[in-house]
Structure 1
Amino acid sequence: MSAYSLFQELHSVFRYVVMVLFIYTILMALIGWFGNRPYTNRNRLSNLFALISAHTQLLIGIVLYFLSPLVQFNSATMKDSTLRYFTVEHWVMMVIAIALITVGHSKSKKLVLPEAKHKTIALFYGIALLIIIGALAAGKIPILK
């Protein structure tokens, strides 16, 4: 198995971990926000694990970016939708999503009121998840194989 195949498989499989953690975290935040629930250590850990999983996926993706034959820097790249997607579009959208996740996590840590913490996580992580899903849909990458 080549390094490219290994990282491609790792990146592909780990996306399920990221998606499950994000859906769980966003649901917990929405329940906490609209249900006026306390912000517990379970919420904090869920937010943190979702953040860590996204950053881990980013690191795997960075390695994959430099190994992938679909990432090319030549005159044909922008004319070919597949090459353009993997060379430019995918990573840009994912970095934006991860920046939102990081900002949301950081902001929530500084807040005191449980409602504000839940709301911040729900909004920032939710928007990031929409961007991630949009990025996968733009590249016609199935979330579930």
Structure 2
Amino acid sequence: METIQFIHSGWAYIVLLVLIIATVNALIKFFGNKEYGALDFRLALFSLITMHIQLLIGIILFFTKGYFDEMSVGEVMKNDSIRKLAVEHPTLMIIAVALVTIGYSKHKKKLVSKPKFKLLSIFYSIALIAVLYMIPWNQWLS
């Protein structure tokens, strides 16, 4: 279980970096009226892939951590720190992955650069905010 926790925490740096790069790229190119190219596609795709890998690692970690093996749901919900790790973090991260997935899928259907970047900017920005909000900073930075 410690190995999975280590992988989940380490991979999170890659996810965060790639998501920031993809989001900033989409915002700059949207507001700069730039053309959509192969690099933009790769950044959006790599962000999608890293997020999904992190989700899979997180799901494995969630079920091996066993928050609900030793405590009842009521006990977990009453404890702020455990609730954040066992309920709030997974829920909001799943929503963030869904946002990236929706943004990526919708942007592929657009034929012109501006709408592509608009969709990526909106969905990836909201996902990035969710990710930044739900990172357990007290554990991550210590």
- The answer, yes or no, to whether TM exceeds 0.5 is yes
How far apart in 1 are the matches of 2:58 and 2:80? 19
Structure 1 unaligned runs (5+)? Answer: none
5 Å-filtered alignment, 1:49-128, equals 49-69=46-66, 71-72=67-68, 73-74=71-72, 75-128=74-127
Query: How far off its partner does 1:39 sit?
Result: 0.4
Change (3 A) 1:124 1:143: farther
- Partners of 1:45 and 1:87 in 2: how far apart? 33
Deviation at 1:141, TM superposition (A): 4.0
Alignment of 1:35-46 (within 5 A): 35-46=32-43
Name the amino acid aligned to 2:116.
K
Q: Is the 8 A contact 2:8 2:58 kept in 1?
A: yes
1:9 to 6, 9, 22: 6
RMSD after superposition? 1.5
Q: State the secondary structure of the residue aligned to 1:87.
A: helix
Counterpart Cα distance in 2 of 1:141 and 1:26: 25
Which contiguous aligned blocks of 4+ residues in structure 1 show a shift greater than 3 angstroms?
Answer: 139-145
Distance 1:144 1:50, change over 3 A: farther
How many residues are paired up? 139
Change (3 A) 1:110 1:30: same
Match of 1:25 in 2: 22
Identity rate, percent: 37
Higher relative contact order (CA 8 A, sep 6+): 2
- Identify unmatched segments of 5+ residues in structure 2: none
Aligned to 2:133: 134
